[in-house]
């Protein structure tokens, strides 16, 4: 599992897109990836399999990016055809009292999101067992192909330390001084 906090922060849009596409390839290979992204472009937004939107501690959306417009449209929150849905989601999440009506509250959005999750992810026991066995096989293959020996890990860490020492020789002097006193 890989957890990332704003991996695209401070990057231009093309670099951000490349990073997200690389993460998507890893996800397709079986790695679970969780990332927070603030203000993604429309193209970046649709690279994700699942989007979770939180507002005031409530989950107001948990689903595929392609379903955002329909989901919020059912609550009377229309999104323009050519607008970035991520911008509208950000606005809804940060200013819910200004955007939502008396009939549509954060609590009602959260309730519907939870209800939708139960409908979308109900599996009968046989299907769940088949999926579990496929996942177990896939993860064992991933573990076998991605395993790195302890010596290779040591070598990489040692080389990184040596490179850092060359770049900052004063830190080596400080380490020697601290070690002797």
pLDDT digits (tens, 9 = 90+) for 149-159: 788 888 888 88
Per-residue pLDDT, 22:
92
pLDDT digits (tens, 9 = 90+) for 77-93: 888 888 888 888 888 88
Q: How far from 67 is each of 22, 74, 89, 135, CA to CA, in Å? A: 23, 11, 12, 26
The rounded percent of the chain whose pLDDT value lies above 70 is 88
Structure tokens at 123: 């599996």
Average pLDDT, the chain: 81
CA atoms within 13 A on the CB side of 80: 6
3-state secondary structure 131-176: HHHHHHHHHHHHHHHHCCCHHHHHHHHHHHHHHHHHHCHHHHHHHH
Rounded to whole angstroms, how far apart are CA atoms 159 and 138? 32
pLDDT digits (tens, 9 = 90+) for 102-150: 677 778 787 787 776 655 555 667 777 777 777 777 666 666 666 677 8
List the domain boundaries for the chain. 1-49, 128-180
pTM of the model: 0.59
């Amino acid at each position: 599992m890989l957890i990332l906090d704003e991996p695209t922060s401070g990057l231009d849009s093309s670099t951000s897109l490349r990073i997200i596409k690389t993460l998507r390839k890893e996800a397709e290979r079986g790695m679970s990836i969780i990332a927070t992204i603030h203000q993604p472009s429309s193209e970046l937004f649709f690279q994700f399999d699942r989007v979770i939107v939180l507002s005031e501690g409530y989950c107001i959306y948990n689903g595929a990016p392609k379903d955002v417009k329909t989901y919020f449209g059912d609550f009377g929150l229309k999104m323009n055809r050519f607008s970035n849905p991520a911008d509208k989601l950000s606005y809804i999440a940060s200013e819910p009292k200004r955007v939502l009506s008396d009939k549509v509250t954060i609590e009602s959005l959260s309730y519907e999101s939870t209800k939708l999750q139960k409908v979308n992810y109900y599996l009968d026991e046989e299907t769940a067992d088949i999926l579990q066995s496929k996942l177990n096989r896939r993860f064992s293959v991933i573990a076998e192909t991605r395993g790195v020996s302890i010596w290779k890990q040591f070598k990489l860490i040692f080389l990184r330390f040596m490179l850092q020492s060359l770049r900052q020789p004063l830190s080596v002097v400080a380490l020697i001084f601290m070690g002797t006193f």
